[in-house]
Each structure stands twice: as structure tokens, then as C-alpha cells.
Amino acid sequence: MQSYSFYRMPRTRKRYFHCILCQKRTKPTDRRKITREQKRILQRHIFSVTDDDVLCSNCRIKCNKNLKKKTQRKEVTHAGNDKNFSPPHESISTSKYVRSPPSVTLPFPSTSTSHSSCFICRKPGPKLVAVPASARNSVFLQRKILIPYGTRCCAKHILNDNLTAESLEEISVISQASNVNRSSITDILLYMREVALKNKASRIDFDNEENFSDQQYVRLTGLNRASFLDLLSHIDGKINRTPVRSQKNSLGIFLMKMRSGLSNDVLSSIFNISKASIRRAISAVRSALMESFVPQNIGFSHVSRQEVINRHTRPLAESLFGGTGTQALLVIDGTYIFIQKSMNFTFQRKSYSLHKGRPLVKPMVIVSTSGYYISVLGPYLARNSDATILNHIMKTNREDVLNWMEEDDIFIVDRGFRDSIEYLEELGIKACMPSFMKKGEKQLSTQDANTSRLVTKIRWVVESSNARIKRWKFLDRILPTSQVPYIGDYIKIVCSISNKYYPPLSTGDANEDLATASKMKYLSAQVNHLKEEVESQKLNSRTAVWRQAGEIENFPRLDEDDIRNITCGTYQLKLCKSYAEEHFHGGADIMVHKDDSHLVRVKIQSRHVSARSYLLWIRYNESNITAWYCKCRSGARVVGVCAHVAAAIWFLALGRYKESLRPVCDWGQFVDDASVIPDTIDESEEEGVEE
């Protein structure tokens, strides 16, 4: 039998080739040599690349993609020469496709690197997503925690490529040191560069909604964050985005211009863009709002007549003026927008107001009894009176107002519309206006004063509406003549914003309104008996029947609610402290009737004219005020009281029991008065006194 001897070959150690990037062991079919261009890129992120190093197929594809973006990376690298350059978010990471091994240890806390579970809530996969680079960089910026590349989390923790606020607080630290590579360091540095360039490019940035709180939004733009975003939706797509400003910043520029009245130079410094860009942003936003937002929120066509009656009419107004629920009650008044003197002499003469002594234009504001802006028409030239403007509106049927109005509707106006009353009556519209004093009279009669008080109880809302317009400081300043063509647009925009986002000016409980209206209508039919007593007994001229008041112990003590019931409003109460501070320190202006201890006389200085003062009388019992009369223009009314009577009642019933009456600082002590000259003392007289 033939024997065989077996020869065993010597065993050699098998060599493994690992991918230089992902460190995966490569198969021969998946192994690729590194080209010269790839080697040049890899050496930027890895310490050294030898000829024996290889790439796997996937990493080779990523390197080739990175080669295609070489030009874009060069632009990012050299963009520092351009001070207005802001790199796009996609180009932040030059190492997006090339990852070097972790070889640098930094003293920053780090999270876990698990791919199988969420690094925040520890829930296992499989529905996990990789944490975006923007989220990792943002976490490092806010909490100084490094999240390793490739770390995964649940999708609910990511919102707009960033971690939610709750998730940011739940991050747990695994290690107090971080092992990072050159690629991660490059990412962080480029992210910091972008943040620095963005902060330099715009000191106020509305693109990031978290930059400002709701209160800061209101201070800057007049709207809270939700209202700002809703207004933005009306102009979305109608304003072009430019390299220096987005749609949000354009809207922010416009609202800040309206709200604060800052010049374009100041806004240019705040937003760090050119003055021309500020001007174009304001023009673009104004045009977009006039096209898509204003028609939906102001004008006779945007709201139906029945909706105004049902939703924007107070029961108090309907009760006072005999409304039946089918009549529209509108309050009308003009306001002033001051402008610069024009070099066009014809326009200069037409726009000059003799009443105000300066050039201006007059928009006509029409509101409901709750302060809701129905329409703003004009502006008109200053030489046009309110009556002329209203007649023009009705005769030219502006905004189809004649079809909107119906017979028996009510206009509440002031005395400036007296010349249009006849024309309104021809149209079947009732006009309610305060009464005029008859020729030769110095005081309104009790009936006329009561009727006027019913009108002013409702008409104040249009004055407050005009004041709300002027809260947008741009419209409260003197506008250049170049803005005259756009004044009407600006006013309609701010009125539309008020209708959409602001609460009503005048609100009240329906039951309280009905009770107040019943009380005022009842009082309007009464007679002022104290006035008749003063005139018949000549209490205004006889001084012997009056004695100086000491402590009036029997005067009833009232609180502010009781006094408000007497005044039928709050305006008079606001003036009480100022009147009391000036007059009632020593009680010298208060007299008591010698024979009737429940009747007092008070003398009060006019707050408007130094040479004018008023006498007033108040009758009371142990628990209440029963009658009053003042010599001022409207002091004979019994529907409420004038400010002089209110001040006297407030002091005697409430104010004298307070520790201090001073409501405001006396600013006169800080201003010199040239009419006050101290007496000079002769030096010879001083020497004689010393001897």
C-alpha cells in the first residue's frame, strides 16, 4: 500500500481593510482606492491618508458629492469679505458628507450616542430620526451640551429642525467630556459664524418668533405674536423676499413705522439695511394690505347694516335715542392729520386751517356706538367744514352709503355738522346734536343741557376712536407732503387692524345699559328746582346769608360708585382730584347757608380761563345729594353734573377723608415765571438795620 505524506502550508495572517471614514470592514468587491482628489479633501478632516487606505462604496459616493460642492464651499470660505453676506443654512456644514474619526477631547458635557433608542426619553426604535445638525448646534449654543453626530431621537422631539422647548429641558448628560472630530468642530464654528453674521445683519429680526415675547411684540408693532402672524398671512406671497429682508421683517418694519413714528434713517440703523430698502418695504406692505386686508375689515361694503345693529350697537344708545332694533346708529366726526407746508401755493392755501393755524387734512371717521370703525372717508382739504364733507359724502354716494342707510337711521354728530342737518332730514335720516345757546344767553337751559348730555353720553366714542388712530405715532406727527397721497391708506390700515385685533372701545352689560338709559331719560324730563330757588331768592348776590364753613359734619359720606351714579359717567371723576387740590386746602371756597345747614355754596376757578370762576350750590340730606346747580355753561342740567359740581361733591363726601389729595406733581416749581420779580433791597437800608 502506497503511503502519502501530507504537507501543511504555513498559516499567514489575513489582512482586513477598513474604510477610512466609517471604519467598516470592506469586502473585496466593496473596496475602493482613494483618488488624488478624494485624498486632498480627506486630508482636510483626517490627520493623514496613506496609499493603503480605502473607502467603501457608500463613502466613495459621498466624497464624490462633496467634490461637486467644492465651488460652493469656496464661496462660503471667502464670503467674509462681503459684510452683508449671510450663508444659507444648507452650506453651514462643509463636512456634511465627510466624517473624520473622533480624535479630539473637549471639556463639554455630551449625551449618549445610541442609535437604537431615543437619547432624550430612552424609548427604543424603530421609528427614530437622526438629530439634525441645526438642532445639535442650537443645543450647544443654549445649554453647552454636545450631541454626537448620528444620535437619534423620537420624531416628536423635533420641530422645524430644532428640539422643542420641553425636549431641550429633558436632555440628560452621560459624560462630562466629549470626543469629537474635525468635522464636528468645523460644523460648530461655521454655525457660530452664521449666527454672528445674522446678528450683525439685523439687530431686530422677526424671522425668529422666539426673539420677542408677546409684550415685546405689542411694544414694537402694536400687535401680539398671534395677531402679527395672522396679519402676515394676509400678505403672504404678495411681497417679494429680498436678500436683506423677509416678509416678516417687511411687515415688522411697516408696523414699527406706524407704531413709533421713527424716521427711515433710524429704522435703517435698527434693521441694518439701507434707507431705500426701508422705503420699499413700507410701500410694498402698504399696497399688499390695501389689496387683501383692508377691504375685509373696513368700509360700508365689508359689514352689513343688520350686523352693525346686532353686534356693534350698544343697548344704551338704542334706549336713549328711541331705537327699535331696526335702526342703525352711527357716530360721525372728523379728525386732523397735520402735514408740512407745501411749496405748491395753491395746495398750501387750501390745506391751511384757520381754526388750528397750521396745514392739515381731514379724514371723516364713521363708527358704531361701540367704537367699531364702519368707514373712513377722505382725507379732505382743511378748508372744508364737517358739514360740507358730510354733504359731499351723501351727495356723491361714497362707498354706496345711500343704499346702505335706510330711513329713520340716526347720525350722532357734534355742533360742526349743523349746516348738514336739513339735508339729512330730507334723506329721512335723523341727526342728534348737542344744543346751542340762544342769542344773549350765557348758560344752556335745563332742558337743552339735559338733551346735550344724552348726546355726549354716546358721542364720546368717536373722540376715543380718533385718539386710538393717533396712538399710531406716525399719524400723530407732522407728515411730509410726499406722504399726502397715502394718508388715507395709512388710516384705513390702522382702523382695520383695530377692528380685527383690538377690543371694542365701549362695552357694557345689557341690563346695566338699560338701567342707565332709563335713569337718564327720566332725569332729562325733570326741572332743576335748585336753580329756580337760587334765582328767585338771589342767592348768587346776597352775601349776608352765607357763613364760612368749618367742619361740615352732616354732609353724607359716599364712595366712588355713589358719585359715579350721580355724574352718570367717569369723565367728571377724573377731574375731581385736580380741582380739589387747587381749591379746597383751607375750605375758604366753601360757604354754608345760615338758615339752611343742608345748603352749601362753593366757588371754583375755571381750569381754562384765569379771569373766570363759577359759583355752584349743592343741597343734601343725611344720606344723599338731592340737588345741584352751577353757573357754568352746562351747570343747570340734572342728567348728571358738571365737573365743578362733581369736584365739590367728591371732596366733601370722600376726598377730605383721604390723607393726600395731590394727584400729580406740580411741574410749575421746575419752570421759571418771568412775571414774578422779587423786591430789591436797598443796601443803605440794610446797613441802617444792622446799626
pLDDT for residue 527 is more than 90: yes
The CA-atom distances, in angstroms, between 432 and each of 26, 201, 456, 624 are 94, 57, 10, 33
Helix, strand, or coil here: 239?
A: coil
pLDDT for residue 582 is more than 90: no
Residues near 646 by Cβ (< 8 Å), separated by ≥ 6? Answer: 563, 566, 567, 572, 573, 575, 576
DSSP assignments along 602-622, one per residue: EEEE-SS-TT-EEEEEEEE-S
Q: Considering 465, 480, 511, which residue would you say is the last residue of a domain?
A: 511
Verify that 358 and 493 share a domain, yes or no: yes
Helix, strand, or coil here: 363?
A: strand
Task: Give the pLDDT score at 75.
Answer: 47
Q: How confident is the model at residue 90 (pLDDT cuts 50, 70, 90)?
A: very low
pTM: 0.70
Into how many domains does the chain fold? 5
What tens digit of pLDDT does each residue of 134-186 get? 888 888 888 888 888 888 899 888 887 888 888 888 888 888 888 887 778 88
Q: What sign has the CA pseudo-torsion 138, 142, 144, 145?
A: negative
Task: Determine the average pLDDT of the residues in 282-300.
Answer: 96
Pick the more confident residue, 247 or 127.
247
pLDDT for residue 64 is more than 80: no
What tens digit of pLDDT does each residue of 238-276 get? 888 887 888 999 999 999 999 999 999 999 988 888 899
What tens digit of pLDDT does each residue of 621-660 get? 988 999 999 999 999 999 999 999 999 999 999 888 877 6
Q: How far apart are CA 383 and CA 392, in angstroms?
A: 14
Least confident of 206-220, 349-363, 453-467: 206-220
Task: Determine the average pLDDT of the residues in 464-476.
Answer: 96
Task: Give the pLDDT score at 70.
Answer: 57
Task: Give the pLDDT score at 132.
Answer: 87
Note down the domain range covering 327: 305-511
Q: Is residue 396 part of a domain?
A: yes
Verify that 52 and 162 share a domain, yes or no: no
What are the grid coordinates assigned to 551, written together? 367742619
Verify that 137 and 71 share a domain, yes or no: no
The residue type of 355 is H
Verify that 607 and 459 share a domain, yes or no: no
Verify that 493 and 355 share a domain, yes or no: yes
Running DSSP on this structure, what letter comes out for residue 442? S
Verify that 354 and 390 share a domain, yes or no: yes
Q: How confident is the model at residue 198 (pLDDT cuts 50, 70, 90)?
A: low
Q: Is residue 141 part of a domain?
A: yes
Least confident of 291-300, 445-454, 565-574: 565-574
Q: How confident is the model at residue 88 (pLDDT cuts 50, 70, 90)?
A: very low
Q: pLDDT > 90: what percent of the chain?
A: 47
Q: Report cis status (omega within 30 of 0) of the bond before 88.
A: no
Pick the more confident residue, 259 or 681.
259
DSSP assignments along 143-209, one per residue: H--BPPTT-EEEGGGEETTEE-HHHHHH---SBSSEEE-HHHHHHHHHHHHHHHHHHHH-SS-SSSG
* Average pLDDT over the chain, rounded to an integer: 85
Helix (H) or strand (E) holding 470: helix 446-470
Q: How far apart are CA 649 and CA 660, in angstroms?
A: 17
DSSP assignments along 495-518, one per residue: HHHHHHHSPPSS---HHHHHHHHH
Neighbours of 395 (CB within 10 A): 11
- The bridge status of strand 358-368 relative to strand 329-334 is antiparallel
Q: Is residue 242 part of a domain?
A: yes
Task: Give the pLDDT score at 400.
Answer: 94
Verify that 324 and 427 share a domain, yes or no: yes
Running DSSP on this structure, what letter comes out for residue 18? B
Task: Determine the average pLDDT of the residues in 541-550.
Answer: 79
Verify that 569 and 654 share a domain, yes or no: yes
What are the grid coordinates assigned to 513, written together? 345699559
Task: Determine the average pLDDT of the residues in 201-207.
Answer: 72
Q: Is residue 209 part of a domain?
A: no
What are φ and ψ of residue 678, in 5° steps? -70, 150
Per DSSP, the chain holds a count of helices (H) and strands (E) of 25, 20
What tens digit of pLDDT does each residue of 310-351 get? 999 999 999 998 767 789 999 999 999 999 999 999 999 999
pLDDT for residue 78 is more than 60: no
What tens digit of pLDDT does each residue of 376-428 get? 999 999 999 999 999 999 999 999 999 999 999 999 999 999 999 999 999 99
Q: What sign has the CA pseudo-torsion 460, 464, 466, 470?
A: positive
Residues near 511 by Cβ (< 8 Å), separated by ≥ 6? Answer: none
Q: Is residue 690 part of a domain?
A: no
Q: How confident is the model at residue 614 (pLDDT cuts 50, 70, 90)?
A: very high
Longest CA–CA span in the chain (Å) reads 166
DSSP assignments along 21-53, one per residue: TT-PBPPGGGEEEPPHHHHHHHTTTSS---TT-
pLDDT for residue 5 is more than 70: no
Q: How confident is the model at residue 89 (pLDDT cuts 50, 70, 90)?
A: very low
Verify that 584 and 493 share a domain, yes or no: no
Helix, strand, or coil here: 359?
A: strand
Q: How far apart are CA 321 and CA 412, in angstroms?
A: 10
What are the grid coordinates assigned to 585, written together? 386746602
